[in-house]
Chains A and B, each alone.
Chain A
Amino acid sequence: GEDVEQSLFLSVREGDSSVINCTYTDSSSTYLYWYKQEPGAGLQLLTYIFSNMDMKQDQRLTVLLNKKDKHLSLRIADTQTGDSAIYFCAAINNAGNMLTFGGGTRLMVKP
């Protein structure tokens, strides 16, 4: 099955850019996702990218996809303290009926 991996922790200063990385194993994944989990809450979809795209930008968020290396990244520009959360990368399987999540990256933003 699919394996999705992320680093566990990232710390940045307010105003800096954050880059959260993710690798996945199933090259047939058609969509890849970033979800955000704030303390005590469920996950919320932040953004997604289709596998035939290299980049997607949405306001402060930029998603980069390197399909050859099966590497996905999420860049948050001008990171704010409100961006402190756990960020999950996820990939959909070929049948389109299951999402596999990474272990989550805890982003800490220092004032």
Chain B
Amino acid sequence: EAQVTQNPRYLITVTGKKLTVTCSQNMNHEYMSWYRQDPGLGLRQIYYSMNVEVTDKGDVPEGYKVSRKEKRNFPLILESPSPNQTSLYFCASSALAPGYEQYFGPGTRLTVT
């Protein structure tokens, strides 16, 4: 089954404790992206990757890091989480570029206290 998986689905952590949210897709997609969803603000793009070892900033990259060492995986790293990073995070992938249909993961709800 074609899918995008994210782990963990829920995470409560404390300020400053490094964390990684994993994202994996099994569709051999070139393009992967991370978004955060906040009430009334819709989805805002954090980082995206057009291919392996190619990553670029989205609209809200501050406080986040990503890596794309393999085509299928695109982890999101918060080196020193802060309460303003409490949000719902989605990973997405598409065949070549975001103009193609994006497939979204189920989301990770992160709370930073």
Contact = CB atoms under 8 A, between A and B. Distances in A.
Q: Do A and B come from one complex?
A: yes
Interface of A: 1, 4, 6, 8, 30-31, 40-45, 88, 92, 96-104
Contact of A99 (B98, B106, B107): B98
Contact of A98 (B42, B58, B101, B105): B58
B19 interface: no
B45 A43 contact: no
B102 interface: yes
Contacts of A92: 98-99
Interface size of B as a range: 20 to 34
A99 B98 CA distance: 6
A45 B101 contact: yes
B59 interface: yes
A43 B99 contact: no
Nearest to B44: A101
Given A88-B43, A102-B42, A103-B41, A42 B99 contact: no
A6 B59 CA distance: 19
B34 interface: no
A101 B43 contact: yes
Contacts of A99: 45, 98-99, 102
B50 interface: yes
B106 A104 contact: no
B106 A41 contact: yes
B104 to A, nearest CB: 3
A108 B44 CA distance: 24
A86 B92 CA distance: 18
